[in-house]
Structure 1
Amino acid sequence: MAVVSPAVSSAAPAVPPTLRDARVPADGMYEGRRTLRRVPEGWEERPYDLIDVVPQGRLIGAEIRGVDLAKPLTPALREELNRALLEWKVLFFRGAGITSEQQRAFALNWGDLETNPLLARGSADDVVRFDKGGSATPTYENVWHADVTFRERPALGAVLQLREVPPVGGDTMWADMAAAYDNLPDEVKARIEGAQAVHDFIPGFVRFYGPEKLIPLQEQFPPVTHPVVRRHPETGRRMLFVNTSFTTHIVGMERAESDRLLSYLVRQAQVPEYQVRFHWQAGDVAFWDNRSTQHYAVDDYAPHRRVAERVAIAGDRPY
């Protein structure tokens, strides 16, 4: 009987499947859990005795109840409001309905008021009036920014009241720039440690004003240098301090490298987890910490009118 040998397979051994290559864009912002730390580590949170604090988000923004902004602040009330400002970064007062003079008096509890020759004047030199919509030229909206970082001492904060609101739209958003810094990759934090950036008023205003308006102000507002990461003078917390409107470049970097890094850094304000959005009613007041936030006025209400008045509080030199 013939012996039949078993057939020998010529097939190649099975190769386990592999994941195909995929290019991940550089400097991307990806999904994943974010660190949402509202107050600095070691911060002692205490109850409020004189005000009610109603959070509008987990990280940033609180409505304050139980305060009449038309009346002078006692030292104890001022202390509680300042503590709430440091903890929540932007405070909302519904239906305050105060006069421009009362708005100024409230802001003066935090320091001297600024004047700004680039913006329309309200009832006093230090009151700015924004009258938008209708046939007015859209300005100073739809961009994330901190106010007047082109100054040697940018504003500590601002108090804004809506005098007239559109039937829909016209919200304002704020972003917590301490959270933006906290969530940067370690390699980015290392790159910007000790870095300085130049801020200039020209980029923020050249879209709206011609040379005849801007040239006379160049000597008053020369370019200034601020740290890319500043420390809050009251909490010590680190915060990202560059913005689209006024930051032109990072000192010591080639232009292409600076542009790429700045583009990545300014996009951090766009993360929804760092934000609060406020829908205005006439007479509402917002008081925000300009040192630790950026804001964005949403221009979605044309052809309706939106009228606001703002006072800004002079700040210190960032470090």
Structure 2
Amino acid sequence: MTVMSAGPQITLREARVPEGGMYEGARVLRRLPEGREERPYEHFEVVPQGRTIGAEIRGLSLARPLGDALREEVNRALLEWKVLFFRGQRLTSVQQRDFARQWGELETNPLLAQGSSEDVVRFDKGSGSAPTFENVWHADVTFRERPALGAVLQLHEVPPLGGDTMWADMAAAYDNLPQEVKDRVDGATAVHDFIPGFARFYPPERLVPLQDVFPPVEHPVVRTHPETGRRLLFVNTSFTTRITGMDREESDRLLRYLTQQAHVPEYQVRFQWQPGDVAFWDNRATQHYAVNDYAPHPRVAERVAIAGDRPYA
């Protein structure tokens, strides 16, 4: 490029960065679906923790049944903020399960350590435990035909430093895709498989018996949220293996670009845990990442997951 002026010509040298990256600039940060208006909450206080995702709920105990009106308002907060934080709840496993069950059937997961019952997963990360299943951006169990609707996680033991969890807004991730990328992925499907996410940590003999239980499934690359109607990017590093109908090189290149979207800080919220805190997130609309920076200190958590529906475009 040559800039003409009254003085000497100034020539900008040619420079090129790799194609398919993510670049600086304004981003669309829309928390609510188009056409939905802000409404006040009547039963509790909502304290935003991020621009489009994450809110702390104050003035509400999860230890007792919510009742229809309160349950409906918590659900509205979940849909609008995508992950909710409740400080100092200190729920028993039974109370945690009872709270989650108000959103539907609970899910079991034979690939993870069991807590007090088969529908409670226990993450007990002590000084000698392997750093498994945490520090990668993912949505839970997308290898299932019906991936989880959401999950309720409680921290029982928190390290003195580190061990935060982050969530990413996959509606914002989709909103900000370039139009040419949207044109490629709208209507496309991708294969999800449990093996890549677990083969890094389990020997083959542990996984082989589960191959028939969890065969590969196809889901839309962009799903529609069944309650809000938002378009959501629905591929992740742990379980999405390829985009249907593309050769391997093209699929890998596009998947790398799409999974990078969860890494954008503008789409994220980060939560610093205290013992007894609870997080409730919409697994349809988010990905999450447990930060593995707390060794050699222990970190103990229990999670209950709620069964979801079959994703659709």
Same fold (TM over 0.5): yes
In structure 1, the residue matched to 2:298 is 305
Helix, strand or coil at the partner of 2:270? strand
2: CA distance, partners of 1:74 / 1:48: 16
- Give the gaps of 5 or more residues in structure 2: 1-5
1: CA distance, partners of 2:242 / 2:96: 36
Identity of aligned residues (%): 78
2: CA distance, partners of 1:151 / 1:112: 15
**Superposition misfits of 4+ residues, deviation over 3 angstroms:** none
1:66 to partner: Cα distance: 1.2
The 5 Å alignment of 1:179-190 reads 179-190=172-183
- Give the gaps of 5 or more residues in structure 1: 1-12
In structure 2, the residue matched to 1:288 is 281
Matched residue type, 2:50: G
Matched residue type, 1:120: A
In structure 1, the residue matched to 2:85 is 92
Helix, strand or coil at the partner of 1:110? coil
What is the RMSD of the two structures over their aligned residues, measured on CA atoms?
1.0
1: CA distance, partners of 2:283 / 2:257: 21
2: CA distance, partners of 1:152 / 1:247: 13
Per-residue CA deviation, residues 155-199 of structure 1 (Å, 9 max, x unaligned), is: 000000001000000000000000000000010000111000000
Matched residue type, 1:199: H
Helix, strand or coil at the partner of 1:258? helix
The 5 Å alignment of 1:261-272 reads 261-272=254-265
Kept in 2, the 8 Å contact 1:173–1:297? The answer is yes
In structure 1, the residue matched to 2:158 is 165
Which of residues 40, 49, 56 in structure 2 aligns to 1:63?
56
1:18 to partner: Cα distance: 2.3
In structure 1, the residue matched to 2:249 is 256
Q: Does 1:50 align with 2:54?
A: no
The TM-score normalised by the length of structure 2 is: 0.97
Helix, strand or coil at the partner of 1:215? helix
Kept in 2, the 8 Å contact 1:133–1:304? The answer is yes
Specify the structure having the higher radius of gyration (Cα): 1
2: CA distance, partners of 1:193 / 1:54: 34
In structure 2, the residue matched to 1:225 is 218
The alignment covers a number of residue pairs equal to 307
In structure 2, the residue matched to 1:106 is 99
1: CA distance, partners of 2:168 / 2:224: 17
Q: Does 1:37 align with 2:33?
A: no
In structure 2, the residue matched to 1:128 is 121
In structure 1, the residue matched to 2:3 is none
Kept in 2, the 8 Å contact 1:107–1:313? The answer is yes
Helix, strand or coil at the partner of 2:107? coil
Which of residues 4, 14, 18 in structure 2 aligns to 1:21?
14
1:17 to partner: Cα distance: 2.3
In structure 2, the residue matched to 1:143 is 136
In structure 2, the residue matched to 1:153 is 146
Helix, strand or coil at the partner of 2:310? coil
Per-residue CA deviation, residues 66-120 of structure 1 (Å, 9 max, x unaligned), is: 1111111110000000000000000000000110000000000100000000000
